[in-house]
Amino acid sequence: MEIQFIYSAKHTIHDPVYEIYDGQKEPYAEKAERIKSIESSLKANGFKSFYTPKVFPLKYILAVHQKEYVSFLRARVLKILPEDILFSSYYIMDTYTPLVSRTYEAALTSVNVALTGAECILNGKKLIYSLCRPPGHHAEHNRMGGYCYFNNAAIAANYLSKKGKVAILDIDFHHGNGTQNIFYQRADVLYISLHANPHDRFPYNSGFAKEKGSGDGRGYNINFPLSLGTTDRQYLKILRKALAEIDNFNPKYLVVSAGFDTYEYDPIGGFKLTIPCFSMIGEEIRKIDLPTLVIQEGGYNVEKLGKIAVSFVRGLTGS
């Protein structure tokens, strides 16, 4: 299957030096080298169809995020000097998501990467991979967090939903609290996540199996919290259950929040997935045969990240 990639070098302008973990300064894990590693490895392995994003109106972000939050983020970074870093007191859920002088611009570009991919899907492409950075699935309606500022997957899914039902499959190690929060009361977008048990890992307060959606969205939110140490075999078994739920939902489009921090040697993960497993994950997703938009989320082992992405893409494309 043919695949195209959407990429912008502007992701590098968001470059915090540190985050705060347990009260201490730690090197920032969500570094620009993540996406560079994926891009260079894909190209080195024969995947050459890379395209720059279009610029979309702000209305697509405002359809998902609170206007006051977006305005705050845009205005606040203007007061930050290039050499400074700020952990905002407003609209933030943790100490992992700092602002630097060009964070808003990078986050806006990341949304454009996602929306360009979604537009390609609406124009008839079967498989698009949007290399988004900063990632997005922790960003809620009016809060940044978990390295995320705007929810790329949610914005793209909402855009696609105007043309038909959408399923979101989140395979990041951490629960996508933001995406769940945004679609929790909607029946036209199914959110399914496989992730570490929130008793053990971030975001700690969402991602439990009992969270099923509410109102019209009751039954359209499905969480599969998994134990630390989950293996390839165990993960694939649950993935097949998740994909069966998607098949039952019968969506027109699939959005995959692709986090690679499930890898066995990810520095902030905790599962035991091997690199070949990511190809099998891609194969299982390919079997459901839906127009698919892949949105890059986490994955922090920079040395192996490119190899993981290549394995995943080979599974998705059958190459």
Q: Which CATH architecture has domain 4-317?
A: 3-Layer(aba) Sandwich (3.40)
Which amino acid makes up residue 270?
G
Neighbours of 31 (CB within 10 A): 18
Structure tokens at 240: 């097949």
Does the annotation count 138 as an active-site position?
yes
CA angle in degrees (0–180, nearest 5) for 180-23-77: 65
pLDDT in tens, 158-191: 999 999 999 999 999 999 999 999 999 999 999 9
What is the pLDDT of the chain when averaged over all its residues? 97
pLDDT value of position 1: 86
pLDDT value of position 26: 95
Q: In terms of Cα–Cα distance, which of 138, 130, 137, 88 is closest to 109?
A: 130
pLDDT value of position 252: 98
Given the residues 138, 174, 175, 195, select the one marked as catalytic: 138
Asked if residues 252 and 165 have their Cβ atoms less than 8 Å apart, the reply is yes
pLDDT value of position 224: 98
Helix H or strand E encompassing 208: none
Q: In what order do the strands lie in the sheet with 189-196?
A: 50-51, 4-6, 127-130, 292-296, 253-258, 166-170, 189-196, 221-226
Which amino acid makes up residue 5?
F
pLDDT value of position 127: 98
pLDDT means per 10 residues, the chain with 319 residues, are: 96 96 94 97 97 98 98 96 94 96 98 98 98 98 98 98 98 98 98 98 96 98 98 98 98 98 98 98 97 98 98 97
Q: What does DSSP say about strands 189-196 and 50-51: parallel, antiparallel, or unpaired?
A: unpaired
Total-model pTM: 0.97
